[in-house]
Chain A
Amino acid sequence: MGKAWAFSENLNTDEIIPGRFNITIDPQELAKNVFCEIKPDYAPNVVVGDVIIGGQNFGCGSSREHAPIAIKGSGAKCIIAASYARIFFRNAVNIGLPILESREAAEGINEGDEIEVDLSSGKIDNMSTGESFQAQPLPPFIIKIAEAGGIINFLQTNSIEDLL
């Protein structure tokens, strides 16, 4: 179970992590400044297993991989948003950050709600309100990448055919 941190529609990668911090790709270093301008209380208070809630077109803007790396480095378990920008979606998958798509869940969860997420079934429970939502389940290959900690780690010990 984790706490929900809610963000607005069309959240861009500069709002996730401003360009000036992209001099490193170390997840912990990036996590120190994640959302620093739009939600400064996030980085000091986030707990492993918390959940990011977004609106539509989450992660738009530049294609930098630093944005999902920073979110993953902060300990967030996954993102639940109405939709994602295309390259952010791929980047998140490849670095092993699970992302679920559900407009209903994105609208039905408020900041601070306690959330239970089952990544393989896509079931999302809002323990604070008693509401449940069903996102598209994550395809097994995305779960495999996430479990390995990203595509690079996955390929260190597997071949790409093992994905499917």
Chain B
Amino acid sequence: MGTLVEEIFSQKAGRSVHAGEIVLLDVDYIMSHDNTTPLAIKAFEMIGKPIFDKQKIVLHFDHAYPAPNILAATNHKKIIEFAQKEDLPYLFKQGVCHQVMIEEGFVTPGAIIIGADSHSNTYGALGAFGAGLGSTEIGVAWVTGKSWFKVPETIRVELSGETQTGVYAKDVMIYIAGMLGMDGATYRSVEFGGRYIETLPMHERIVFSNMSTEIGAKCGLIAADQVTAEYLRENTPIEGPFEEIHPVSPNYERVLEIDVSTISPQLSCHPTVDNVRDLKELEGLDVNEIYIGTCTNGRYEDIEIAANLLKGQQVDSVTRVIVTPASQMIYKKAMKNGLLDILMDAGCTITGVGCGACIGRHGGILAPNERALTTMNRNFIGRMGSPLAEIYLASPATAAASALTGKITDPRNYLRQ
């Protein structure tokens, strides 16, 4: 009996566990990427014991790949040499770690996956427990196959209603971030549910779990259901059957009820994710760069929204419009279906896959006093380059509409016609 996180942990622990308890659990997969693996290797070497199970370790190259400078190249080389020496089976360079984890079938309902990346919460969208940990703990887990967790209290976010045309999961999540604030869910599990979530396709569900990090949550969970099972069967190598773990007579710390039909397009404004305004209030503000991509909104459907909106038109002549598909799988599908042609004809720049401009190392760095409108999940000062630049977060539709004008623009102006 318990909340979704209590149920998932109980299943793994083989006994009933509750909020406040400390548990030591077997983890299914241990994820790290080119930015965090080097420190994990250091911790691992200091412990001086062998790897517990090589099959659990999944390494990615996505943050700065291919290497944009010598430091990154040296780190990549170190990781490759380590993986070869330890004979590690899973080494991916196919795109953003979280997206590739899902595509390759590592994320299944009820699994416990830890990652040396704060957006490991993403896996919660498929009913898995995903959480970000420090690199030392990743090195520890390589040796032990386990990790300790304090079972968190849960905030339930109950979402009802249907969104208006032009309003997406991203808008709803930005709205929630504005309500709860950046530390509104610290230490907590956030459980997203209700009629709206139940009818939502997977690519939109992922936005909620992914951005639960932005409100401080330890994990952001959505109970697995038919949508999850079908998504996994159609898009990943795994066949199932899949577990459906649900909350059972849960005790929530707090329940937040939101009717999504009242929400209009939203923006997270410079310089914090919880600085939220209705798009209408800022319409017309100039932007220098539009960035569509990342583990939040770089999926096929996001690119499709942008392509549909930009088809046959030209983006603003001075604004950089960059589209970075989150993974090779997405890139290939978008290419095959002609979406990349549409975007290129409209004047967008398509880059290779990965995190791209999201971390300010390559692929669209901002100059001082520039302003970006992006589909990312974070807008910390300096995130995309100059600390004097501003970052605004929005849905792919808002990003595409704004690409046409070079100003923050309401996507409903284009979608209604």
Q: Chain A: residues with CB nearer than 8 A to chain B?
A: 57, 60, 63, 65, 83, 85-87, 89-91, 94-95, 139, 141, 151-152, 155-156, 159-161, 163-164
Contact = CB atoms under 8 A, between A and B. Distances in A.
A155 B47 contact: yes
Contact of A85 (B24, B148, B186): B186
A67 to B, nearest CB: 11
A155 B144 contact: yes
B297 to A, nearest CB: 23
Interface string B176-203: 0000000100110000000000000000
Contact of A151 (B118, B135, B140): B140
Contacts of B135: 65
Interface of B: 22, 24, 43, 46-49, 118, 132-137, 139-140, 143-144, 146, 148, 183, 186-187, 216, 218
Contacts of B133: 87, 90
Contact of B186 (A86, A151, A164): A86
16 contacts: A87-B132, A87-B134, A90-B134, A91-B134, A94-B137, A94-B140, A141-B148, A151-B140, A152-B46, A152-B139, A155-B47, A155-B49, A160-B140, A160-B144, A160-B146, A164-B24
Contact of B140 (A86, A141, A152): A152
Given A152-B43, A160-B24, A83 B186 contact: yes
Contacts of B48: 156
B136 A163 contact: no
For the complex of A and B, 10 pairs with smallest distance between CB atoms: A160-B144, A155-B47, A152-B46, A91-B134, A164-B24, A139-B22, A160-B146, A152-B47, A94-B136, A57-B183
Given A57-B183, A91-B136, A163 B118 contact: no
B326 to A, nearest CB: 22
A30 to B, nearest CB: 15
B307 to A, nearest CB: 36
A86 B137 CA distance: 14
Contacts of B137: 90, 94, 151
A18 to B, nearest CB: 14
Interface centre among A90, A91, A94, A151 (most CB of B within 10 A): A90
Interface centre among B47, B49, B136, B143 (most CB of A within 10 A): B136
A44 B216 CA distance: 34
A163 B146 CA distance: 11
Contact of B216 (A86, A139, A151, A160): A86
Given A90-B137, A151-B140, A57 B186 contact: yes
Nearest to B137: A94
B12 to A, nearest CB: 14
Contacts of A151: 136-137, 140
Interface centre among B48, B49, B133 (most CB of A within 10 A): B133
A25 B146 CA distance: 25
B183 A94 contact: no
B134 A65 contact: yes
Interface centre among B139, B144, B218 (most CB of A within 10 A): B144
Contacts of A94: 134, 136-137, 140
Contacts of B218: 86
Nearest to B187: A86
Contacts of A63: 118, 132, 134
Nearest to A155: B47
A156 B47 contact: yes
B187 A65 contact: no
Contacts of B148: 141, 163
B188 to A, nearest CB: 9
Nearest to A95: B136
A143 to B, nearest CB: 12
Interface centre among A63, A86, A87, A159 (most CB of B within 10 A): A86
Contacts of A156: 47-49
A140 to B, nearest CB: 9
B23 to A, nearest CB: 8
